[in-house]
Amino acid sequence: MTDLLFAEAPARDDRFHVVERWSEMVNLADGHPEKPLEFLHRQMNEETNVMENAARSLAQFPDAEWGIRMWLARQCADEARHVEVYRRLLERRGGRVGQYPVMNFQYRILGTIDSLIGRLAVQNRTFEADGLDAAVFGAGEARAQGDDELADVYEAQSADEVLHVRFANEYIRRKIQEDGRNVLRMATALTYGSRAFQSVFADGGTDVTKYGVAERERLEAGFAPDEVHVAVEQSETRRRALRERQA
């Protein structure tokens, strides 16, 4: 991993084994009896990263307008609730905190982006939008398998993610209208974020996506129809390429 792409890692206590690459995680095959528990554990820590990112932006951009600071504070509260929900579900199903390795790549990526518009473009408009797609897919899959408890968790999370993506989209559009240089700031952050993400997920990590784009939810989250169309095309291209490699 290229250290210049990443900031300092967040604090974790001795229960956690922190790794830096996807290949160092416990990546279990579909159908493995521990895969659901490992996923809940991984999701718990990822939601912690999102909470920490929102809290850090709230602290590091004290002069940001009141409205966006209120949204960041609300996101902190929402993500804290997500962490607790996943922890309770993990422990209720026989798992424990620290049972599997975790990654903190989202926190380390966001820490090197020095503009709020750049952070929201990478965290909320990219990572959270992908998480929205996954939550919508997961809710349907869990419901079909009769796991209503997990489906309810996903549906509640997706409702929150719609708001998190939407406030970022609205803020970004407003800031671009105010100052065209914000386009460059956002593009720089996205380019950097993509490079860092590819570094973390080298060696097969980008070959595990099995869900498509949640079109209706992305529209509700403030993406323009043409943006959703592009996201669908990109997702279908990636999934088609993956199927061809696996054939």
Q: Hey, which residues does 18 pair with through a beta bridge?
A: 102
In sequence order, the 6+-apart residues with CB closer than 8 A to the CB of 94 are 37
The pLDDT profile of the chain, 247 residues, written as one tens digit per residue, is: 445 779 999 999 999 999 999 999 999 998 999 999 999 999 999 999 999 999 999 999 999 999 999 999 999 999 999 999 999 999 999 999 999 999 999 999 999 999 999 999 999 999 999 999 999 999 999 999 999 999 999 999 999 999 999 999 999 999 999 999 999 999 999 999 999 999 998 876 666 566 889 999 999 999 999 999 999 998 888 777 667 666 6
Task: Give the containing element (helix H, strand E) for 51.
Answer: helix 35-60
What pLDDT is attached to residue 3? 59
DSSP string, 99-150: SS-EE-HHHHHHTT--SHHHHHHHIIIIIIHHHHHHHHHHHHHHHHTT-HHH
What pLDDT is attached to residue 230? 93
Determine whether 180 is exposed, middle or buried from the number of CB atoms within 10 Å of its CB (0-12, 13-18, 19+): exposed
CB atoms within 10 A of CB 43: 24
Report yes or no on whether pTM surpasses 0.85: yes
What pLDDT is attached to residue 210? 67
Instruction: Decide: 17 and 102 in contact? Cβ < 8 Å.
Output: yes
**Nearest to residue 96, comparing CAs of 108, 87, 105, 106?**
87
Angle between helices 148-178 and 129-144 in degrees, nearest 10:
160
Distance between CA atoms of residues 55 and 76, nearest Å: 6
**Nearest to residue 215, comparing CAs of 192, 195, 231?**
231
Query: How confident is the model over 99-109, as pLDDT tens digits?
Result: 999 999 999 99
Distance between CA atoms of residues 149 and 142, nearest Å: 8
Distance between CA atoms of residues 132 and 155, nearest Å: 10
What pLDDT is attached to residue 202? 86
Query: How confident is the model over 151-194, as pLDDT tens digits?
Result: 999 999 999 999 999 999 999 999 999 999 999 999 999 999 99
Query: How confident is the model over 230-245, as pLDDT tens digits?
Result: 999 988 887 776 676 6
Architecture of domain 3-246: Up-down Bundle (1.20)
CB atoms within 10 A of CB 163: 18
Angle between helices 35-60 and 66-92 in degrees, nearest 10:
160
Q: Classify strands 102-103 and 18-19 as parallel, antiparallel or unpaired.
A: parallel
What pLDDT is attached to residue 242? 67
